[in-house]
Structure 1
Amino acid sequence: MTLPEPNPNARAVVTGASSGIGTALAAELAARGHSLILVARRGDVMEELAATLRRTHGVEVDVRPCDLSDRDARTALVDELSAREVSVLCNNAGIATFGPVADLDPAYERAQVELNAVAVHDLTLAVLPGMLARGSGAILMVGSAAGNMAIPHNATYAASKAFVNTFSESLRGELKGSGVHVTLLAPGPVRTQTPDPADASIVDKLVPDALWVSSEYTAKLSLDALAANKMRVVPGIVGKAMSTAGQYTPRAIVAPIVGAFYKKLGG
C-alpha cells in the first residue's frame, strides 16, 4: 500500500503549514512529488515556503491564507476542496492553552475547539466524497497523546484532541476496503528549532532535550505510516508514555499527576 500517486491535477492539502509539523509535512510531500495547497493564517510565510518548494522539487504549490478557527472564513476553502481532486489531506492546524479553563479567555477557548475539532471535521467531510468516488485518498489526522487522557490545566486542548483521536480511528473503521487511508498522528513534544536559552518557554525548560522529537522526523514517520495505512503513529518517548498511561492507567490516578505538570505550564 502507498499514498496516492502524484498527478498534475491532484493536490495534497496541509493545514497549519506556516510552521512546525505543517511545514515539515509540506516539504516531505513535495519531496515525494505531490503538488500542494498550503493553508494557514500567515500568507507571507507560506508564500516563502511555496517558492522554496517549487524551486527545489518542481511541484505546483497553491497558498490559501485562512483562519480556520473562523467558520465563515473557512467556508470558501471548504467549498474549493469539495470541488477539487484532493489526494492527501493533512489536518494539522491546532492551538493549545494552559491553565484553569475558568481563568482563560472564553472566546479563545471556543476558537480552539473550532480549529482543533470542528474545522478538522469540516475539511474531512469536504474531501471524503471525492476520495471515495476515486477509490483512492489519504487523510492524516494530527491528534495528540494528550487526547488519550484527562488533563487539568489543559482541558480544552485535551478534549479537542480526544475528538480528533476518536474521529480518526472511527472513520478508519468505516473506510476499510474503500482505498482511502486514515492515520492518526498522536505525538508528544515536537521541537521545530533549538530554542535560545534566553527565550526558552517554560515547556522547553521543563521537558529535557532528549525527550523531544523533530518536526522533520515526525513528518516522515507520519507519511510513511499513512502510506502503510497504519491506524496510529506515536513518535517519541513522551508520546508513547502518555498514550500508554492514557489507555491503561485509571484516570483517577493519571489526571492529578499530569495535571500537576500542566499547572506549571499554565503558570
Structure 2
Amino acid sequence: MNSNDFVSRYGPVALVTGASSGIGQSFAEQLAAMGLDVVLVARRESLLEELASRLRAEHGVEVTVCSADLAEVAATASILDATSGLGIGLVVSNAGYGFKGEHSAMDPAELADMVTVNCTTPMLLTRGFIPRLRARGRGGIIVTSSIEALLGCPYSTAYSSSKAFLNSLGEGLWGELTPEGIDVLTICPGATDTEALRGSGIDPATMNNVMSPDEVVTLTLDNIDNGPTLFPSDHHKAVFDQLLSIPRRDALTAMARGMKVNSVQPN
C-alpha cells in the first residue's frame, strides 16, 4: 500500500519499543518517513532524544520520547499512561535481547530481566493497546521474535524459549484480531547487523547472509497485512527448515555441536 493508505490504516501515531538502535531505530525512521508521528520507547533517553530531533527535522513529524526500562513490569503501565491522549494505530513491540552460553552459567537476575523484556512486556503491552485499537476499528501490531523461536536452541536456551513464547503470542493475537480489522505480524529475523550482534563480539563482516535492519523493516512493513508470521531471511529460514526436517533429537545434537564450535547463532 502507498504511504497515504498506510497512514490512514495504521496512523496517525506509531509506538516503537527498543527504538534507540538496530531494528527498532529503523522502524522509527521508516514510519516517520511515511508520515506517521512516532512514540520512541527505550532505556537510553539521550539516544532517543537524538533520534527524535533528527526525525522531526527530516520528516516534520511529531515525536514523543518515552524513556522506560522494560525489565520493570510497571513500565507497561507507564507507557500506556504516557500515550493515553495519542491516536496510536500501530504498536511495534520490538525490544528484546538474549544471551549465548551454557544455561547453568547464566546469572539468574539477568535471565529474569530478559524474560520480562522479551515476554512479559510484549504480553502486557499488546493487552493494554488492544482495546484502543478495537475502539478505532483498525490498526496493527508488530512483534519482533527470532528465527531461533523455531527450535529450542542449545547454548541459547532461554533466549530461544522466550522467542517461542512471542511466536505463540503473535499467532494467537492474529487469530483473535484480524477478523476485527487489526493486523498482527510476528517477524522472525535471522542474523541482523545490530548493536546486539556486535555487542556479542561478532563482526558482521565476517558472517554470510547478514541482513541490515533497514532490509528487515522494509520487508516487515510491506507484509504487515500478510500475517501471522514473516521470516525476512530466506537463508536462515532454509537452515531451520532443514533442521526441522530431521528427527528433533538429531537437529538438537547437530546444533549443540555447532554452537560449541562457532558460538554464533542468529539474533
| Alignment partner, residue 54 of structure 2 | 52
Q: Post-superposition shift, 1:201?
A: 5.0
Q: Is 2:203 the partner of 1:204?
A: yes
> Who is 1:96 aligned against?
98
- Give the counterpart of 1:5 among 4, 8, 16: 8
Equivalent in the alignment of 1:239: 236
Amino acid of the residue matched to residue 236 of structure 2? G
For residues 99-149 of structure 1, what are the alpha-carbon distances to aligned partners after superposition, in whole Å with 9 as ceiling and x for unaligned?
Answer: 111111000001010000000001101111111121111111101110010
Amino acid in the other structure paired with 1:122: L
Could you tell me how far apart the structure 1 residues matched to 2:25 and 2:184 are? Answer: 20
Q: Deviations over 1:190-229 (max 9, x none)?
A: 0148x9xxx8855437x85431011011111111111x33
Cα pair 2:15 2:38 within 8 Å, conserved? yes
Q: Normalized against structure 2, the TM-score is what?
A: 0.88
Equivalent residue letter for 1:265: S
Deviates more, 1:239-248 or 1:69-78: 239-248
Kept after mapping to 2: 8 A contact 1:191/1:214: yes
TM-score by length of 1: 0.88
Identity of aligned residues (%): 33
Across the aligned residues of Structure 1 and Structure 2, the Cα RMSD in angstroms comes to 2.4
Unaligned runs of 5+ residues in structure 2 are none
Match status 1:254 vs 2:212: no
Partner residue of 2:23?
21
CA contact (8 A) 2:18 2:41 kept: yes
In the alignment, is the contact (CA less than 8 A) between 2:91 and 2:141 conserved in 1?
yes
> Is the 1:148–1:246 Cα contact (8 Å) retained in structure 2?
no
Q: Which has the higher contact order (CA 8 A, sep 6+)?
A: 1
Distance (whole Å) between structure 1 residues aligned to residue 154 and residue 84 of structure 2: 37
Matched, 1:218 2:220: no
Structure 2 counterpart SS, 1:131: helix
Q: How does 1:157-168 map to 2 (within 5 A)?
A: 157-168=159-170
Q: Distance in 1 between matches of 2:239 and 2:93?
A: 21
C-alpha deviation, 1:48, in angstroms: 0.5
Assess, with a 3 A threshold, how the Cα gap between structure 1 residues 33 and 243 changes in structure 2: closer, same or farther. Answer: farther
Aligned residues: 259
Provide the secondary structure at the position in 1 that maps to 2:263.
helix
1:184 aligned counterpart, secondary structure: strand
The worse-fitting range, judged by mean Cα deviation, of 87-96 and 67-76 is 67-76
Is the CA contact (8 Å cut-off) linking 2:10 and 2:89 kept in structure 1? no
The Cα of 1:243 is off from its aligned counterpart by 4.2
Judged with a 3 Å threshold, the aligned counterparts in structure 2 of structure 1 residues 81 and 251 are, in CA distance, closer, same or farther, namely: farther
Cα pair 2:147 2:190 within 8 Å, conserved: yes
Listed as ranges, the gaps of 5+ residues in structure 1 are: none
Change over 3 Å in CA distance of 1:246–1:83 after alignment to 2: farther
Q: After superposition, what is the alpha-carbon deviation per residue over 1:142-175, rounded to whole angstroms, capped at 9, x for unaligned?
A: 0111001011110110000000011101210112
Question: Aligned partner of 2:263: which letter?
Answer: L
